[in-house]
């Protein structure tokens, strides 16, 4: 816990400690398999944590995607599923929740976030288009490229420096964006692809001042702004905590204001919205909504379910309301920060400030002796699993993929391992166990030799690539 969060808690409750604003009603047993079994499982998985069976995992920090614990209200909502093919009542609940909390007019449900990315990319991007954004995200960029566009990163430089303490490392660099618009012309830019928080930068937020200024700049050139709202409620927490004038504004109001500066959003409901599956696209422009509705019937399902069951839409609708409760969000981000601060106190290199959904280990600094094409972050994730059955994820050279023009690896500045915290799933004791495991692996860092890739898929290679220990 940082000083600041302590103070926030202290003011509210008049004491130092804080606890989750829920109690546990049902448990799912987990166990750690033995060291020899872990070594065998890792080899079998090609040293890729995505390829491990979850039965062989002890504490699963692979992702916060679809791994949330639903509330009793959400589970009760499942029983209210209206599984009519058309016009399910749960669709209308979801539409109302999105209008209330995000403020957009038209809602098109999808099976998950990438379904919505597909729709918006195909609706707005034409071959030769350029899409500026505050750092790429894997599936977002893949859909933009498949629609014939090219993504250009216009995030501030601080985002690429794991040690820079900037409070809003997700901000768009408006000078970079202006230069890009002047260079390629506004008519080749269908929209700015804005994400809050920025996953690949370490869960770093965008400030309200930045989105306001971005809106003004884009209005001058007639360019739209579309939001990746996947973790926008978490972004709102950071605005409340760090931005002048928002300390007393509820997260719900901050979220709504932020969205008001954008033309629409795509959403992976598997993150902020506290469900195991689901997504949506929401826009204010009727033409864009119509194009998306035309396409959703081809790729997802009818426009009133878009690949989700009625019960799932109900769970999303309820989850949206829960996700913007101030107490919930404080505990959520407080838990991530608790883990991050433990590691930082032991001088283990982590991305600072600690972001919203995960703690990111700086594999480049931990394995200073390994060149990037020996996959330091992939190696670190493998070592962590070997040590204690904890599953994490590479966010470095493997995730960055290859440049479609040259065919070479992209060499991102950030070479990270993500310890992603599922929402409402693990306790503080689990965080202690994770911190101690990271410390054990860190203490043995000099012995790491790296990996070599032996199978490489063409799209989103990090999901299915296979490796073996470096033998050179």
Ligand X SMILES: *Cc1c(COP(=O)(O)O)cnc(C)c1O
Q: Which of 38, 93, 114, 374 binds ligand X (CB under 6 A)?
A: 114
Minimum gap (Å) between residue 110 Cβ and ligand X: 8
Q: Which of 90, 139, 392, 399 binds ligand X (CB under 6 A)?
A: 139
Q: Does 121 sit near ligand X (CB under 6 A)? A: no
Q: Which residues pair with 176 in a beta bridge?
A: none
Rounded Cα distance between 337 and 348, Å, is 14
Q: Does 228 sit near ligand X (CB under 6 A)? A: yes
Q: Does 207 sit near ligand X (CB under 6 A)? A: no
Q: Does 137 sit near ligand X (CB under 6 A)? A: yes
Are residues 68 and 22 in contact, defined by beta-carbon separation less than 8 angstroms?
no
Task: List the structure tokens of 99.
Answer: 């209008």
Q: Does 364 sit near ligand X (CB under 6 A)? A: no
Are residues 120 and 281 in contact, defined by beta-carbon separation less than 8 angstroms?
yes
Rounded Cα distance between 262 and 245, Å, is 21
Minimum gap (Å) between residue 355 Cβ and ligand X: 12
Q: Which residue has the tokens 């204001």?
A: 257
Q: Does 140 sit near ligand X (CB under 6 A)? A: yes
Q: Which of 149, 203, 279, 307 binds ligand X (CB under 6 A)?
A: 279
Are residues 20 and 423 in contact, defined by beta-carbon separation less than 8 angstroms?
no
Site mask, ligand X, residues 291-330, x = CB under 6 A? ----------------------------------------
From the list 10-18, 74-82, 251-259, 268-276, the region that binds ligand X by CB under 6 A is: 268-276
Could you list the active site residues?
85, 137-138, 228, 271, 395, 462
Nearest Cα neighbor of 202 from 174, 235, 153, 176 is 235
Minimum gap (Å) between residue 463 Cβ and ligand X: 11
Q: Does 230 sit near ligand X (CB under 6 A)? A: yes
From the list 135-143, 165-173, 239-247, 309-317, the region that binds ligand X by CB under 6 A is: 135-143
Task: List the structure tokens of 252.
Answer: 């719900």
Nearer to ligand X, 416 or 451 (CB): 416
Q: Which of 9, 195, 288, 451 binds ligand X (CB under 6 A)?
A: 195
Q: Does 65 sit near ligand X (CB under 6 A)? A: yes
Minimum gap (Å) between residue 279 Cβ and ligand X: 5
Residue 230 phi/psi, 5-degree rounding, is: -50, -45
CA distances 104 to 110, 113, 266, Å, are 16, 17, 11
Q: Which of 67, 68, 204, 268 binds ligand X (CB under 6 A)?
A: 268
Nearer to ligand X, 65 or 383 (CB): 65
Q: Which residues pair with 150 in a beta bridge?
A: 130
Nearest Cα neighbor of 361 from 372, 350, 353, 352 is 350
Q: Which of 143, 270, 352, 430 binds ligand X (CB under 6 A)?
A: 270
Q: Does 112 sit near ligand X (CB under 6 A)? A: yes
DSSP conformation letters of 326-364: HHHHHHHHHHHHHHHHHHHHTT--B-SS--SSEEEEEHH
Nearest Cα neighbor of 116 from 316, 321, 393 is 316
Q: Which of 48, 193, 199, 207 binds ligand X (CB under 6 A)?
A: 199
Interacting positions 425-454 with ligand X (CB under 6 A): none
CA distances 217 to 221, 244, 379, Å, are 7, 22, 42
Task: List the structure tokens of 234.
Answer: 């978490």
Task: List the structure tokens of 470.
Answer: 């470096």
Are residues 384 and 448 in contact, defined by beta-carbon separation less than 8 angstroms?
no
Minimum gap (Å) between residue 300 Cβ and ligand X: 12
Which residue has the CB atom at the shortest distance from ligand X? 113
Binding site for ligand X (CB under 6 A): 65, 112-114, 137, 139-140, 195, 199, 228, 230, 268, 270-271, 279
């Amino acid at each position: 816990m940082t000083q600041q969060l302590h103070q926030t808690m202290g003011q509210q409750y008049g004491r130092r400690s804080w606890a989750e604003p829920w109690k546990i009603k049902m448990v799912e047993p987990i166990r750690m398999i033995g060291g020899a079994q872990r070594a065998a499982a890792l080899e079998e998985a090609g040293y890729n944590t995505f390829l491990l069976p979850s039965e062989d995992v002890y504490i699963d920090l692979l992702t916060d995607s679809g791994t949330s614990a639903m509330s009793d209200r959400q589970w009760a909502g499942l029983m209210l599923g209206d599984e009519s093919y058309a016009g399910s009542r749960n669709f209308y609940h979801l539409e109302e929740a999105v209008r209330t909390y995000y403020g957009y007019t038209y809602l098109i449900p999808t099976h998950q976030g990438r379904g919505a990315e597909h729709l918006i990319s195909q609706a707005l991007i034409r071959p030769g288009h350029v899409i500026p954004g505050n750092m790429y995200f894997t599936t977002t960029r893949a859909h933009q490229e498949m629609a014939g566009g090219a993504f250009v990163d216009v995030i501030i430089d601080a985002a690429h420096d794991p040690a820079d303490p900037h409070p809003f490392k997700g901000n768009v660099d408006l000078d970079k964006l202006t230069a890009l618009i002047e260079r390629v012309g506004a008519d080749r830019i269908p929209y700015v692809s804005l994400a809050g928080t920025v996953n690949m930068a370490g869960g770093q937020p965008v400030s309200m001042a930045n989105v306001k200024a971005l809106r003004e700049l884009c209005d001058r050139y007639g360019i739209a702004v579309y939001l990746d709202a996947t973790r926008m409620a978490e972004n709102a927490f950071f605005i409340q905590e760090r931005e002048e004038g928002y300390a007393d504004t509820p997260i719900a109001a901050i979220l709504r204001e932020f969205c008001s500066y954008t033309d629409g959003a795509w959403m992976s409901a598997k993150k902020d919205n506290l469900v195991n599956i689901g997504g949506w696209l929401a826009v204010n422009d009727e033409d864009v909504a119509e194009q998306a509705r035309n396409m959703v019937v081809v790729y997802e399902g009818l426009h009133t379910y878009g690949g989700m069951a009625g019960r799932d839409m109900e769970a999303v609708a309820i989850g949206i309301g829960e996700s913007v409760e101030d107490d919930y969000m404080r505990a959520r981000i407080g838990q991530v920060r608790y883990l991050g601060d433990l590691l930082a106190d032991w001088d283990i290199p982590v991305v600072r400030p600690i972001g919203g959904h995960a703690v990111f280990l700086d594999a480049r600094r931990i394995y200073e002796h390994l060149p990037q094409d020996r996959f330091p972050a992939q190696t670190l994730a493998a070592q962590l699993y070997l040590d204690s059955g904890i599953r994490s994820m590479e966010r470095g050279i493997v995730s960055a993929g290859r440049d479609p023009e040259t065919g070479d690896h992209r060499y991102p500045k950030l070479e990270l391992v993500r310890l992603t915290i599922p929402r409402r799933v693990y306790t503080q004791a689990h965080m202690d166990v994770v911190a101690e495991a990271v410390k054990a692996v860190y203490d043995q860092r000099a012995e790491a030799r790296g990996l070599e890739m032996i199978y490489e898929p063409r799209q989103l290679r990090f999901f299915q690539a296979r490796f073996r220990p470096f033998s050179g």
